[in-house]
Amino acid sequence: MSVLDMPSILRRSDSRVPRNPPPLASMLEIRCNETHNSSMAHPRRNPMARFLPHASPVALTLLLVALLAAPVTAAELPSTVSKGATLVEVFSSAAFHEGPTWDPATGKLYFTAFFGGEKPNQQIIRLDAPGKGTVWLDKSEGVNGTWLSLDGRLLGAQAYGHRLISYSFGPKGPADAKTLAINTKWHQPNDVCQAPNGNIYFTDPDFANQKTSKVYLLKSDGKATVIIDDTPVPNGLITSNDGKVLYVGDSHRKMWRS
């Protein structure tokens, strides 16, 4: 498998399930038509505060999984990766990388970057070639998780803008941006995915108190409905291929649930 053939692996492994989860990270399986009641609160906190360095930045690496012929040992890759796979470093910077999404129309990989230090910033980076990344969107207001929508746009969960946003792919940046939903009472939308029927799901974790986190369903009418309110820190999420089951990773409970 070539580098250009890797997007299907990435789209099933990054923001759709917890990215680089801690050991025994919790997974919560729910049926997509279940709903729960909730109440709102809105403390503010940098969603990357647990990871970003306080003084000097530490380089973190974006890795792609390529199904290549070269054999690897069990110590090199998790046991869940397909036999014969190897890790290939394609980009490294002083940022915390999140939310990779492949755009088949442009043949490019897009991912988010959080920079700490004295001048924190958030960007969306486009990988043009191994080792070559272009700032596709600067000052993204904390876009974290991303997803390729059914209509070929880039969905983003915007932590600091407290909204779900949709970008069209332009050569030098977004050709346009559309706000799909916004609520200043949301903590910091973290991750997003879209089901085959067009429903959009996103997490809104309460990192500060771990008491008022939510998972939302956003339908085409623009109304966001709470479907989970009893998970301390919902993070990555993905639907099953048929869209009937939603899987949510809980960064607080160090266990697997299904």
pLDDT score recorded for residue 252: 82
CA distance 68 to 39: 49
Question: What is the model's pTM?
Answer: 0.72
Per-residue pLDDT of the chain (258 residues; tens, 9 = 90+): 333 333 333 333 333 333 333 333 333 444 444 333 333 333 344 445 544 433 333 334 455 444 333 444 545 556 666 778 888 888 988 899 999 999 999 899 999 999 988 888 999 999 999 999 999 999 999 999 999 999 999 999 999 999 999 999 999 999 999 999 999 999 999 999 999 999 999 999 999 999 999 999 998 888 999 999 998 999 999 999 999 999 999 888 754 343
pLDDT score recorded for residue 144: 97
pLDDT score recorded for residue 76: 58
Separation in Å, CA 178 to CA 74, 84, 164: 44, 41, 9
CA distance 237 to 145: 10
Residue 141 Ramachandran class (φ > 0 left, ψ -120 to 50 alpha, else beta)? left
pLDDT score recorded for residue 181: 96
User: Taking the domain 3-250, which CATH number applies?
Assistant: 2.120.10
110 neighbors 154 (Cβ within 8 angstroms): yes
pLDDT score recorded for residue 82: 77
28 neighbors 235 (Cβ within 8 angstroms): no
Question: What are the sequence ranges of the domains in the chain?
Answer: 3-250
Strands (E), 94-160: 96-103, 108-115, 121-129, 132-138, 143-148, 154-158
